[in-house]
Structure 1
Amino acid sequence: MIKLSLTSRNCVSTSLPLYNCNEGSLLGFPLKKGKLDSSDSSESDPSPPHMEIYISREETVRGIYDKLQNHKYIQVRGTPASGKTSLAKLLHEYIVRNEHEPRVTRVLVWNPEEKMPRGGWVEWLSPRWSFQPGSVLIVDEAQSAYWDMTFWLELKAIKPESSFRVITFASYGSAGRNINDPLTPIHISPRQDISLVPHDHGDQIAVGLLLTKPEFDHFVNKLFVDHYFDILFLDSVFDITHGHLGACEDFLRIVRAHKSYQLLKSTGKRYTVDDFTTGIPMAEFLELLTTSSTFSRGLPVTEHLRHPPLAQVFRDVLLTGSTVVDEAFDQPNNAVVKSPLRICFESGWLHNEIINPLNPTRVTYTFASPLHERYVQCMLLGNLEEGVISESRIKDFVIAIIRKFIPLNLSASRTFGTTTQSTPEAQFRDEFYRASMSHTKGSVLSFPEFGNKRGRIDFFIPSKKWGIELLRNGNRINAHVARFTTGEYGRWIRDQKMNDYCIVDFRTSRPRSNHEVNNNLLYAVSTDKWKTIDVLDNW
């Protein structure tokens, strides 16, 4: 028996000076001069160009349109590459296609203050848009307009009975109702807010930026024609991305270009979860994500993660899945030097949601998807170039990982956005992943979410060809054991895809007797809420 005493540990980061944040440079793109795209019934081609490249998202667009009809002003908020611009174009096209005499003006980006004419935004938009009855103003990249208080004060006066409609698409904005919060200069009710995840705040219209599963399936078939992706593999991609458009696209593009996928072309076989798990080292995959053109827009770079205040924000979110604030976290008279949380939020690295519409001053900040979370966790705790596993035996490796468990991580309930983590097993998978990242300096395992809902192995280490399965209190232990003997992973062992495996049963009481399995089972027992763990070898 090995007895482990677990204590909390703090990570050490080098210092990076805190920077002042200006619109545009903070978000990773230069400010552009304001651009308009307008349509009315007199034009021969009133729809936005190149709409054939987009999936229709008919139900989502219809839901956004219905909300706009009901409230006359709504905002759509989402992290970079979550599909805001494509939805703005789809809504534009939908209105032109369905209204009798449509008059739509779409602002691609707001005019910067120094470029605005003397008459302000009203002069800039006229004569294309000037509150005409039945008209629609669509403002993309609306965060570029946050400086223009006169525009937002005009939106404040919009009522359900107004004759015109306005919708803004922004990469960040206030999810709460604190009117002094400078992130959005007006109070927007939950019913007027469309975020990443669909929520029905009482108007029976629940839509969100994230792709639904049918939309994801349509997206894959349209963008990756004649692909070789297995259905269960695609389901796993949807699970780990939550339907985040940029994450879905870059994930599949990376896999399609990889040799593990290309080798299947001549075989007629489908690319499976197992092909991904055994064929692409996670360090390589995460490195490719870093250089991706779309997904990387919402990722912090190494220099950001070396800055202690920013790193601490991410650690807080990684600990329980989110961080909650009760009030606006910057005062209007102190907006130049911004808090670390606000920097992370405005940069698109975190997203916020109201926890409870009845108490909208409490807002939770979280990652846009599990893939975003795993990327930040790997970059924060590990080093893709220096990762190494020093243990020669899988059990020694597993025990070394358990030594790095933090009790608080196992006792606190975890959330993703406003959703509590579904199973106790997931909490232990998260902590095992985190501790392994810390122990190996980034010699990462397979993602714990990927394929796990469909009975795939919890962790696989390609460099060692080791498989690790985690249980809670002996749940379905015989079925898990069979997978490594007579089941699918038994074939992995026979085909030399896997050299060794370990099943770890995390328990709150000692087992009554040893299991009949051979020397591949460890019991990790704690009777004091995981402050200490006794590791028992089944052999």
Structure 2
Amino acid sequence: MVFCLIQGDAIKNSFPIDTSSHTTIGHLKKAIKDEKQNAFSGINTDKLTLWKVDIVQTKKNQEMTIKEHKGVELHSFESIGTHFQEVPLSTNIRIIIQPLLPATTDQCTRDTANLGYVPRREGNLGGTLLCPDQLTSNSNEGISLTDNDTSKRPLVVKSLIDDLLIKKIILVRAPPYSGKTSLTQLIEDYLINSAEYLTFRIIRFSTLWGNDVGKLCNYENFGEAWKEILGIDWLGESEPMDIDVDNKSVTAGQFWETVKCGLQGSHDIYIIMFGAYGYGSNLRDLSIPVEIPDFNSKSIYDIKFTDNELEEYVTNFCRYFNLKEHNENIIPEFIKYIKNATAGHVGFVRHILYYTREKMKPKVNELTWNKILVYLNSNGFNETINSNCRGLPKIKSFSHDEIKLCENVLLNKKHPYQSSNNHSVLALIKSGVLVIDKNYMLQFSAPIVMRSFIYQNYGNEKISETVPKSLYDFIVSIFTAMCLESRELLQRTLSFGFEEREETIILEQMWQKEFYRIGKRRLNGYFMSCDVGATFASNGYLDFYVDEPLNWAIKILREERCMAKHTKKFDETTEIYKEITLYAKSIAIVDICSESIKVQKLKENFVHVSYSKNYDAFKIECLGRDTMNINF
């Protein structure tokens, strides 16, 4: 005798079949169909699929339903005795029956009538009724689990699942392009392929899918879209479920009531939600209809790549692209670069790898790290992040207040976040430009985001018709324009006291911003990359690099700070800034200081710029050059 159960049914509905009078699995199939004639009406015996399992029955698990399992398929020709020889009194469920229903238009109705719910459709989206070829509204979302370079992220996925089983409700709020949709796919894949969760019904649901069934999945008709996609009413059954809800920013009151009950521990439904911020007509707010405690909340910091994950992902991606065979130095340098430029932001990591691969495919046989660096600091790559990367800011759509807030964060590196109804703050957080760190400070979500903001905000003025012949001439032309244009701006700029001197000095970031704004237009189309410290993964912080064929490297200092240290960093023997010294044709450390500070000694590669008290005159001194005074 063996206990059997129809897949998707509750354990309490298991039934015994006498195996003593049957010799093959084929005979057993016929006996099962005879026993459950109503359940298998209209289905041929040979269409039943039997799976050998071993599920313990207890008083406590009788209400549990079996939707997924990791059984061994039994074939009609096999002998029953080969598989089942245990004592007759065993009550463990040993056979799961998977019926194949006729492909008719009332299939959903038939499923629901027989089982009380729609069983998981293998190969369909998230265990719903949707086939992958029905998906049209968000074809750029998510990942392909079969790609060789896809990372399954087992440690992050397992930690989220373990946390979910304890807390029942988890809300992950993170900006666009941060890997939310791909993480729902990975969690689903992990759950349905783990024997540990075979008693759970796993559902992955995206509100974006409502468009694919002709139902706008908004606050008012969430239930209709759910039924169209799943085949049943929302929570039509009370069996244990594990639900991934992607893009939860638009949803329904009934759903949030379920979430509220889950927070109180009053049902066996586990829900992990991924989304940005806001809901219904309140999309500009950071709040949702139910207060989610910090205990149940997670952010981008919890789902970004860990250092180990990032290293493994980049390594596998590069090896799949056959980079290692040609230059073993590429992979460690690429890892270092991506860590600095992306801060582990999943979408940006993928973007850099993908577009580098596409650009370098024709050159893979002679590829070097320097060639990759040149590309990553070229206008071609810059256009990909400004045009094809939805996780990066689009300055044209920013309000005046939003731009000013970004400038404030840029100048001060961070800015205090105060919970309020400040629409500029909320909009920048929602769009992923700014994030709130664990100290409640606003900062750019990644260095590459700051780079994009600088380029768009300061680099789009009318360009010059000529290009300076040398790096020195370039620097002189910038301060000539700065003297004419920027005096009032520099006078107004927020200043602070410098400990070594009583006089007030301008923030270094303001000099950098003005240098970039004016320098970009002086280059007549040549690309100037900013935030090169992250780009070159150097130990120091280099400010600007001008693309081929000029190949200029520039560092901005103020008030002679750290001159000796930066001189050493450009020394090839120390291997600091090594990538730049290998490739840059000209290097300049621009030291900006008050005219009250006299230059003690001119040094190679240094350009000393002294400004007057009112910023209406500059003096430029450089080894081997005549002193130049600029004033209007």
User: What TM-score, normalized to structure 1?
Assistant: 0.67
Partner secondary structure for residue 143 of structure 1 = coil
Partner secondary structure for residue 437 of structure 1 = helix
The structure showing larger relative contact order (alpha-carbon pairs under 8 Å, at least 6 residues apart) is 1
> Residues 140 and 168 of structure 1 are in contact (CA less than 8 Å); yes or no, is this contact kept in structure 2?
yes
The answer for the alignment partner of 2:586 in structure 1 is 500
What residue ranges of structure 1 are gaps of 5+ in the alignment?
1-37, 198-207, 331-338, 357-362, 414-426
The answer for the alignment partner of 1:252 in structure 2 is 353
Letter of the structure 1 residue corresponding to residue 390 of structure 2: R
The answer for the alignment partner of 1:370 in structure 2 is 447
Inter-partner Cα distance in structure 2 for 1:327 and 1:87: 28
> Residues 329 and 342 of structure 1 are in contact (CA less than 8 Å); yes or no, is this contact kept in structure 2?
yes
Deviation at 1:78? Answer: 1.4
The answer for the alignment partner of 1:514 in structure 2 is 601
Partner secondary structure for residue 178 of structure 2 = coil
Inter-partner Cα distance in structure 2 for 1:130 and 1:388: 69
Deviation at 1:409? Answer: 7.2
Query: Which residue among 492, 500, 518 is the counterpart of 1:439?
Result: 518
1:106 corresponds to 2:204: yes
Deviation at 1:59? Answer: 1.4
Equivalent residue pairs, number = 444
Q: Residue 388 and residue 309 in structure 1: after superposition, are their counterparts in 2 closer, same or farther (change >3 A)?
A: farther
The answer for the alignment partner of 2:535 in structure 1 is 450
Cα shift readout 1:95-131 (whole Å, capped 9, x = no counterpart) = 3313241211111226524883878969986468447
Cα shift readout 1:127-159 (whole Å, capped 9, x = no counterpart) = 6844735321211111122xx233223312323
Residue correspondence of structure 1 range 102-501 to structure 2 within 5 A: 102-109=200-207, 111=210, 112-113=217-218, 116=221, 126=232, 129-130=235-236, 132-145=238-251, 148-159=252-263, 161-162=265-266, 163-173=268-278, 183-197=287-301, 208-224=302-318, 225=320, 226-227=322-323, 229-258=330-359, 262-263=362-363, 265-267=364-366, 270-272=368-370, 275-279=371-375, 282-292=378-388, 296-301=389-394, 303-305=396-398, 307-329=399-421, 339-346=423-430, 348-353=431-436, 356=439, 364-383=441-460, 386=463, 391-392=468-469, 393-397=473-477, 399=479, 406=490, 428=508, 430-441=509-520, 444-448=527-531, 449-454=534-539, 458-462=543-547, 464-470=550-556, 473=560, 475=562, 477=564, 480-481=567-568, 483=570, 498-501=584-587
Cα shift readout 1:496-534 (whole Å, capped 9, x = no counterpart) = x5443222346799478415x34x323467999x99998
Q: Residue 399 and residue 389 in structure 1: after superposition, are their counterparts in 2 closer, same or farther (change >3 A)?
A: farther
> Residues 414 and 442 of structure 2 are in contact (CA less than 8 Å); yes or no, is this contact kept in structure 1?
yes
Q: Residue 398 and residue 182 in structure 1: after superposition, are their counterparts in 2 closer, same or farther (change >3 A)?
A: closer
Q: Residue 104 and residue 328 in structure 1: after superposition, are their counterparts in 2 closer, same or farther (change >3 A)?
A: farther
Q: Residue 257 and residue 484 in structure 1: after superposition, are their counterparts in 2 closer, same or farther (change >3 A)?
A: farther
Partner secondary structure for residue 528 of structure 2 = coil
Partner secondary structure for residue 205 of structure 2 = strand
Deviation at 1:173? Answer: 4.9
Query: Which residue among 185, 188, 191 is the counterpart of 1:95?
Result: 191
> Residues 75 and 169 of structure 1 are in contact (CA less than 8 Å); yes or no, is this contact kept in structure 2?
yes
Partner secondary structure for residue 172 of structure 2 = strand
Inter-partner Cα distance in structure 2 for 1:342 and 1:129: 33
1:74 corresponds to 2:170: yes
Query: Which residue among 135, 148, 160 is the counterpart of 1:64?
Result: 160
Partner secondary structure for residue 501 of structure 1 = strand
Letter of the structure 2 residue corresponding to residue 450 of structure 1: T
Partner secondary structure for residue 258 of structure 1 = helix
The answer for the alignment partner of 1:21 in structure 2 is none
Higher mean C-alpha displacement, 376-385 vs 393-402: 393-402
> Residues 381 and 437 of structure 1 are in contact (CA less than 8 Å); yes or no, is this contact kept in structure 2?
yes
Cα shift readout 1:385-436 (whole Å, capped 9, x = no counterpart) = 84777544144156458765858878579xxxxxxxxxxxxx84x5454223
Inter-partner Cα distance in structure 1 for 2:465 and 2:377: 13
Deviation at 1:213? Answer: 1.8
What residue ranges of structure 2 are gaps of 5+ in the alignment?
1-65, 70-97, 99-119, 127-131, 133-143, 211-216, 498-506, 624-632
Cα shift readout 1:295-350 (whole Å, capped 9, x = no counterpart) = x2223445414x535434433443434554533417xxxxxxxx44444444x243
Partner secondary structure for residue 74 of structure 1 = strand
Inter-partner Cα distance in structure 2 for 1:378 and 1:231: 28
Partner secondary structure for residue 138 of structure 1 = strand
Letter of the structure 2 residue corresponding to residue 537 of structure 1: E
Inter-partner Cα distance in structure 2 for 1:77 and 1:59: 19
Q: Residue 311 and residue 169 in structure 1: after superposition, are their counterparts in 2 closer, same or farther (change >3 A)?
A: same
> Residues 503 and 522 of structure 1 are in contact (CA less than 8 Å); yes or no, is this contact kept in structure 2?
yes
> Residues 506 and 525 of structure 1 are in contact (CA less than 8 Å); yes or no, is this contact kept in structure 2?
yes
Inter-partner Cα distance in structure 2 for 1:82 and 1:383: 28
Partner secondary structure for residue 184 of structure 1 = coil
Inter-partner Cα distance in structure 1 for 2:305 and 2:452: 20
Letter of the structure 2 residue corresponding to residue 237 of structure 1: I
Q: Which has the larger radius of gyration?
A: 2
The answer for the alignment partner of 1:22 in structure 2 is none
Residue correspondence of structure 1 range 20-99 to structure 2 within 5 A: 40-41=68-69, 45=122, 51-53=145-147, 54-96=150-192, 97=194, 98-99=196-197
Partner secondary structure for residue 300 of structure 2 = coil
> Residues 572 and 581 of structure 2 are in contact (CA less than 8 Å); yes or no, is this contact kept in structure 1?
no
